[in-house]
């Protein structure tokens, strides 16, 4: 990289790809929500810990700081859990 502008342009391009991938993940989260009947199934703490552990393993193997991966995955999972809970509430209000 030859300049800060070049670094920022690469970051912006990666952010665009991350948004596309997160939108795809959101579709899958919504599909999974259809199989979940209550808040406990949505929160699924055991599943959360398994996903975070896998993210840490993949991070270490892929050159990403595991602590960064864990923080990102926990924030992402938390946001998707809130989305699922909102959708469950909206369905039950109908």
pLDDT for position 89: 81
For 20-63, how does the pLDDT look when each residue is reduced to its tens digit (9 = 90+)? 999 999 999 999 998 999 999 999 999 999 999 999 999 999 99
Residue 29's CB: how many other CB atoms inside 10 A? 19
pLDDT, averaged across the chain: 95
Global model pTM greater than 0.95? no
DSSP 14-79: HHHHHHHHHHHHHHHHHHHHTT--SHHHHH-HHHHHHHHHHHHHHHHHHTS-HHHHHHHHHHHHHH
Confidence of residue 78 (pLDDT cuts 50, 70, 90): very high
């Amino acid at each position: 990289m030859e300049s800060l502008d070049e670094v920022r342009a690469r970051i912006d391009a990666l952010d665009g790809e991350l948004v596309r991938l997160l939108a795809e993940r959101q579709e899958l989260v919504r599909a999974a929500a259809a199989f979940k009947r209550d808040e406990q199934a949505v929160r699924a703490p055991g599943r959360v810990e398994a996903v975070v552990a896998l993210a840490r393993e993949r991070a270490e193997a892929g050159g990403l700081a595991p602590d960064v991966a864990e923080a990102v995955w926990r924030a992402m999972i938390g946001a998707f859990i809130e989305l699922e809970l909102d959708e469950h509430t909206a369905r039950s209000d109908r």
